[in-house]
Amino acid sequence: MKIAIIGSGGREHALVATISKSSRVNEIFCIPGNAGTSRIATNVEMDINEFDKVYKFINDNSIDLVVIGPEQPLVNGIVDYLEKFNIKVFGPNKIASQLEGSKIFTKKLCQDCGIPTAKFGIFENRIDAKKFLENTKYPNVIKADNLAAGKGVYICNNEQESFMAVEEIFDGKFGEAKNVLIEEFLKGEEMSYFIISDGTSIKSFETAQDHKRVLEGDNGKNTGGMGAYSPSRLINSNLENKILSKIIKPTLKGLSNLGTEYKGFLYAGLMIVENEPYLIEYNVRMGDPECQTILPKLKTDLVEILEACCNKKLAEVNIEWNSKKSLCVVLCSKGYPDTYKKNVLINNLENFTVNKNSFIFHAGTKKENNKIYATGGRVLNFISLSDNFLKARNEVHHCIKRLDWNGGFHRRDIGFKVID
Ligand code: AMP
Ligand code: GLY
């Protein structure tokens, strides 16, 4: 088979690396990819939001299966576009992708299907939003409706902070805003829960815990994710049954009531309050860095799973996992998530080797004249599998120490809730 993966981050390098282990695969393309994917796939420089160009490449090269990594092309309808030409694509369609593309779509679906989530109000203008805020409890949570790459969410402790959030959102800080969402603050512990679906059946695709804040101790600004571990310390079979019966299954039923179905990875961002799950958000893709953390544990051939999803045969596949603990630390350019230098040489990465239970997935890197440069905010992911999280983290830190790059930084406390 020939497979194309769309995207250029750590998630996509992990997908490419896992797919490359399959005996079913002859050739892999990554559009556009990074320095890491270029070692095992052919990178194709292209704007992934120009669907006609993506289609032409896929058609010209007789690609058998396309896997979409990031949310933006999914929300813009790349799956519907390619399927019109009878191309096999792994990912949800445009309507189903509204689960991530519009927080209000998801909140309304929760309301219609009785899915547990924070109480909320939707406001079309500043005056109504502020009137509501005068009689509300704090802290509360104020969100822009758009795709805002993890930004666009304010936790507000008082009226002044919440008024500022409303102003910034309606001023267009996260793109044109037709609405704001004001939510009750849920106090609990977060967990990422993943499933994979072929539109008819679903299978669990593991759990993880991301670390979104830039500084140790979960302080500082929000980022795309500074590190993760899998499994989440919260998961147990009783909780999993509740997540499936109260959240995932009603969501898929809600989509079916809208005349559509869900094919792809679905990522539920949950708040667990006293062993009860509440939906905070959906993402219509694997998480990043959760994907890098989870995929090294997968024992079943990923291509078999993805193909089965496209052929509505997921029920026939038995997905097996390594029982080891996995921990991922993200190395970022100094300055991230604000401004940082680009095109900084990473000295010894080209010939860097790790042991068989450790993995390096690239994110913002590029290769030029056999040298690898940091080009993004999140640059590299170091992952280790071990019997326990402490050993996994020690091994990751040991690898990172050997890297000769003084333009980067990382959190040293990833997994602190399960380790320290
Ligand atoms: P979101 O983009 O909706 O996932 O929100 C980003 C982050 O804000 C989440 O990962 C949570 O840490 C936090 N958050 C969002 N909604 C709530 C809520 N209703 N209660 C508490 N924390 C929240
Ligand atoms: N790790 C958070 C995300 O992928 O959205």
> What tokens were used for 305?
């799973």
Going through 134-287 in order, the beta strands assigned E by DSSP cover 140-144, 153-156, 180-184, 189-198, 202-210, 213-215, 219-222, 227-230, 263-273, 276-283
Which ligand 2 atom lies nearest to the CA of residue 283? 5
Q: Tell the residue nearest (CA) to atom 7 of ligand 1.
A: 153
Give the burial string for 218-234 (b: 16+ CB within 10 Å, else e). Answer: eeeebbbbbbbbbbbeb
Measured between alpha carbons, how far is 153 from 79 in angstroms, rounded to an integer? 28
pLDDT of residue 103: 87
Ligand nearest to the CA of 141: 1
Write out the DSSP string of 42-80: EE----TT-HHHHHHHHHHTT-SEEEE-SHHHHHTTHHH
H helix or E strand, kind and range, residue 332: strand 325-333
Superfamily of chain region 325-409? Phosphoribosylglycinamide synthetase, C-terminal domain (3.90.600.10)
pLDDT of residue 148: 64
pLDDT of residue 147: 67
Average pLDDT across each block of 10 residues of the chain; the chain has 420 residues. List them in order.
98 98 98 97 97 98 98 97 98 97 92 96 93 89 76 88 94 87 94 97 97 95 94 96 98 97 98 96 97 98 98 98 98 97 94 95 96 97 98 98 96 95
Instruction: Give just the sign of the alpha carbon dihedral 155, 95, 89, 314.
Output: positive
Which ligand 1 atom lies nearest to the CA of residue 185? 20
Answer whether 279 contacts ligand 1 (Cβ < 6 A).
no
Closest CA to 184 of 275, 273, 283, 274: 273
Residue 297 CA to ligand 1 center (angstroms) comes to 27
CATH 3.40.50.20 in the chain: give the residue spans.
Answer: 2-91
pLDDT of residue 420: 81
Answer whether 284 contacts ligand 1 (Cβ < 6 A).
no
Superfamily of chain region 189-316? ATP-grasp fold, B domain (3.30.470.20)
pLDDT of residue 175: 84
Closest CA to 271 of 261, 286, 281: 281
Q: Tell the residue nearest (CA) to atom 12 of ligand 1.
A: 190
- Residue pair 379/306 in contact by the 8 Å Cβ criterion: no
Which ligand 1 atom lies nearest to the CA of residue 150? 2
- Residue pair 381/408 in contact by the 8 Å Cβ criterion: no
pLDDT of residue 153: 86
Which ligand 2 atom lies nearest to the CA of residue 286? 4
pLDDT of residue 145: 80
Q: Tell the residue nearest (CA) to atom 4 of ligand 2.
A: 287
pTM above 0.85, yes or no: yes
Domain 119-184 = CATH 1.25.40.10: no
CATH class of 2-91: alpha beta
Closest CA to 318 of 236, 203, 237, 207: 203
CATH 3.30.470.20 in the chain: give the residue spans.
Answer: 189-316
CATH 3.90.600.10 in the chain: give the residue spans.
Answer: 325-409
Which ligand 1 atom lies nearest to the CA of residue 187? 21
Q: What's 185's DSSP letter?
A: P
pLDDT of residue 221: 87
Average pLDDT, the chain: 95
- Ligand 2 cavity residues, CB under 6 Å: 150, 210, 225, 283, 287-288, 290
pLDDT tens string 213-241: 999 999 998 899 999 999 999 999 999 99
